Chains A and B, each alone.
Chain A
């Protein structure tokens, strides 16, 4: 709200320096957006509609710069008589109070002092009548509306809900459809204003107007808010009404308007009416000195309570046993309980005057959820494995998400997305990572390794996962070795490392048929019946659609963090004593069918070997010269050892013989 220094100076004893006024008031909770040409633009928080006016800000000023003669009283007046305008409230829930007054008017320009103040406050001068309504709103916070009496059918006002199908052309020239949840001001026949928002074009004050009805009312805040949203219309009036007006504001506003209209010679006041079917009593609250101290952490001197609250418009009774009874003024719609009074006291006592203490810690803190440790471990492991950590948005465009949807799972869509780019929740971390990798690729960065850990949204709802993407080289550019492009075993190595870092042994890998990966270059990792990860080469059509050059291989993996055990690896570990007897190592090369999985070969070896077989490592896999088509030469290193004795060459040879014989029988393997 724009507060004109000179205007405010008429209402409060403020210093001449506008910067000082701005700074002091800002420290009481009113952020200053701008100070320019003697005008302070305050940002008023949603709870303080009473400060959307010069009077409201003046009350704050009274606490900072006490008035010598006490707070100025408001002009109040109430005239009713037989010639008063006829007002009928048919919807008292939406309009609890409606005041109206008749005036004989002489429409013309406003005096320059009024035009200047209005313009400084950001309101354009229209004519003397409209200007006075705006002036009263900016001064007191009470919005008003003037109707041309002669344009009102039946010369009367009915405050009612709009009828289905009813429309109104508002002052801005827009024909607006109304519905029965909206409040309208109507004449005998039709709506002439949308209550608390805007008047109708036809009944507005014009150069030829001679008689007017001036409205000063209180509207139910949620109703104004709903209507404003539904019509997509926000006005100075609706901003004030929807946050909460002053139930006692209407008669005061009318009195002030009458005073001003007569003062500038714009109108002569006639009879007025105040329709207020269910008057509200004042709110009284108890304020305890002990409670102030418990919340603020300091004992505020007793004299400070009335010193602060009275200028703000509260009535504070003499304290008894450290308790005050405080009557809340009706414009303070935000003050509903004791804590709200404590805030008022604290605000003006000054937060900077509070001591600086530290809360007592009575007991040790509980351990954090293990998922936190799991996620930290995941992130440090993957960074150490060469992947840079990324962050992408959780909502993505539908086309990017589509390939990653699980079959028959409806996408989780956003009802009110900012744009089509943010239309659905990501079903996987991969689409965002692929786009980030492609972003780098298009900026000349060929070798990209990224990961992200975060939430994804699938059939089971929200879950935690980590995604990896790898494009370009599989190894670093170095003088000692040629560079090769990334392949399946690079991404698999990262997944294996991640599983190992979480202490998960016995992970089994099997081919996968997920649609977004290339068939034959896709796998999944499983342990204990749960699918831990999916990994492989991204479908080239997807890579190209997301901006990768055609023919470029992109490898991805996604691990389900929820399926990884949430325990600290090594927590239950019992160490084994170091082997006392030497190991015996044997290498063997066999020719087998190229489609025979290495895991099957390993299984066969285990089944044929004695317990002394300690480990199996594949160290060469060769196809080409000397190897028949469809066959592959597989070289394995077998390590034997016993915890009890030194193994003999003979028994290891015997074991090797049995192993080779079993491989021959089961897989037609030939020893090379």
Chain B
């Protein structure tokens, strides 16, 4: 026993107290120093007996002062620690709350609503119609008489027996596009016409990475006395930029559809390579997303519009294809499997 060893113990205590981070550690320090049995300070007091009688009073005073100091400082710290203890009835704010169970919207429905919103803002009416159609509204009125070679472009699923459709008349096929609804609208309304017809359509395509026998289409139609191909360009330019971003470029390429003349395919600049050419756009820098054109006069004649007086444009797109591009989906079949691991990636 020496003054040195007492000093060493004090320094050790100072260090340990400073490092104590919790109430439990403070209690452990108290036990280690002050416990009656085996406490470091208690041991010092016991060891006083072996000190020389001359030194004993002085050493005893020093040890007792150390003991009082340790007790005081420990109690202060313990009190401070107790004050931070959560009050009775306190909650653990880190436990998860009761989140109401909310489902996810289907990406195709989200996209369709987005497209509807864009066109509604441009003054388009949204119409829906029957998915079962008759030959007249799906083909004939659209300048595709029986035996027309263009019917091969849309391999059709036919009904084994006619079924009553929403429109009332007997239906013989599953619509291959929503154009039939546009015919029905024009049959009952005079121009001006400005509408989009979204809905499910059916083609006899095998299921693979990029095809499904059922898909979602949005078609548009504008008819008036002075509607031009330049107006079609302007309208689709707004749409593409709203949907894909204002840095995308739009290109119109001549094409063929029986119900439009002239006809054009609409390409957007590839986002993956910014138009330089990559695997996604087959090295062309462009991705095809829409078919469009000026309504064929034969279609106006079929619905009783005067093709000399009125002109119009029409367009159509499959939104699965748009969704594949927009969200980088690798397999179109994911849209119809309804795997929650896929659906839950989309917003609530």
Contacts and interface: CB of A to CB of B under 8 A. Distances in A.
Interface residues of B, number: 90
Nearest to B146: A222
Contact of A296 (B100, B152, B228): B228
Interface of A: 26-29, 31, 45-48, 221-222, 225-226, 242-243, 294-298, 337, 339-340, 342-343, 346-347, 351-352, 354-366, 368-369, 371-372, 376, 379, 382-395, 410, 412-418, 422, 425, 436, 439-440, 443, 445, 448-451, 454-455, 457, 460-463, 475-476, 478-480
25 contacts: A31-B265, A45-B255, A221-B149, A295-B229, A297-B228, A346-B254, A351-B254, A354-B252, A359-B227, A359-B235, A368-B127, A382-B103, A384-B103, A388-B343, A389-B343, A391-B336, A391-B338, A395-B174, A395-B202, A445-B341, A448-B340, A450-B103, A476-B99, A478-B96, A478-B98
Nearest to A422: B213
Contacts of B60: none
B136 interface: no
B21 interface: no
A450 B214 CA distance: 20
Nearest to A382: B103
Given A225-B149, A339-B261, 7 more contacts: A351-B229, A394-B174, A414-B159, A418-B206, A439-B337, A462-B130, A462-B165
Contact of B231 (A26, A358, A476): A358
B147 A225 contact: yes
Nearest to A479: B95
Interface stretch (B37-45, B47-55, B73-81, B106-114): B106-114
Contacts of A384: 102-103
Contacts of A363: 192
Given A358-B231, A416-B204, A387 B149 contact: no
Instruction: Return the 9 tightest CB-CB contacts between A and B, nearest first.
Output: A297-B230, A297-B228, A461-B164, A29-B254, A45-B256, A386-B101, A436-B338, A351-B252, A343-B262
B13 interface: no
Given A351-B254, A359-B235, A365 B125 contact: yes
Given A355-B230, A394-B214, A462 B164 contact: yes
Contacts of A454: 200
A544 B105 CA distance: 28
Given A339-B297, A393-B213, A359 B222 contact: yes
A296 B233 CA distance: 10
Residue in B113, B150, B165, B294 with the greatest tally of chain A CB atoms within 10 Å: B294
Contacts of A436: 337-338
A414 B132 CA distance: 11
B230 A388 contact: no
B123 interface: yes
A383 B192 contact: no
B317 interface: no
A298 B194 CA distance: 22
A451 B294 CA distance: 39
B6 interface: no
A328 to B, nearest CB: 15
Contacts of A479: 95-96
Given A339-B297, A383-B102, A440 B230 contact: no
B226 A346 contact: no
A414 B235 contact: no
B338 A48 contact: no
Contact of B123 (A361, A410, A422): A361
Given A457-B163, A476-B99, A462 B132 contact: yes
A463 B202 CA distance: 17
Nearest to B151: A46
Interface string B254-295: 111010011111000000000000000000000000000010
A296 B230 contact: yes
Contacts of A337: 297
Contacts of B330: none
A390 B336 CA distance: 7
B256 A294 contact: no
Contacts of A372: 126, 128
B237 interface: yes
B41 to A, nearest CB: 45
B83 interface: no
B159 A358 contact: no
Given A45-B255, A389-B105, A354 B336 contact: no
Contact of A222 (B96, B147, B205): B147
A462 B132 CA distance: 7
A352 B344 CA distance: 41
Contacts of B230: 296-298, 354-357
A390 B192 contact: no
A323 to B, nearest CB: 14
A451 B103 CA distance: 9
B177 to A, nearest CB: 15
B166 A390 contact: no
A457 B150 CA distance: 29
Contacts of B337: 436, 439
Contacts of B160: 412-415
A412 B159 contact: yes
Contact of A386 (B102, B106, B163, B192): B102
A468 B8 CA distance: 76
A566 B321 CA distance: 32
A54 to B, nearest CB: 20
Contacts of A383: 102-105, 348
Interface string B138-159: 0000000001011011000111
A242 B161 CA distance: 29
A443 B337 CA distance: 12
A382 to B, nearest CB: 7
Find the residue from A222, A368, A390 having the highest chain B CB count within 10 A: A390
A563 to B, nearest CB: 14
B253 A226 contact: no
Contacts of B131: 394, 455, 462
B157 A412 contact: no
B174 to A, nearest CB: 8
A347 B294 CA distance: 13
B101 A449 contact: yes
B237 A356 contact: yes
A449 B344 CA distance: 12
Contacts of B153: 46
Contacts of A297: 228-231
A452 to B, nearest CB: 8
A360 B194 CA distance: 10
Contacts of A222: 147
A243 B153 CA distance: 13
Given A379-B109, A439-B337, A358 B235 contact: yes
Contacts of B104: 383, 388-389
A242 B152 CA distance: 12
Nearest to B262: A343
B339 to A, nearest CB: 6
Nearest to A410: B161
A647 to B, nearest CB: 37
A439 B334 CA distance: 12
A222 B109 CA distance: 41
A358 B234 contact: yes
A182 to B, nearest CB: 15
A294 B228 contact: yes
Nearest to B162: A412
B202 A439 contact: no
Name which of A354, A360, A454 has the most chain B CB atoms within 10 A of its CB: A354
Contacts of A29: 253-256
Contact of A476 (B98, B163, B256): B98
Interface in B116-131: 120, 123-128, 130-131
Contacts of B263: 343
Contacts of B341: 443, 445
A27 B228 contact: no
A626 B120 CA distance: 64
A222 B204 CA distance: 22
A296 B229 contact: yes
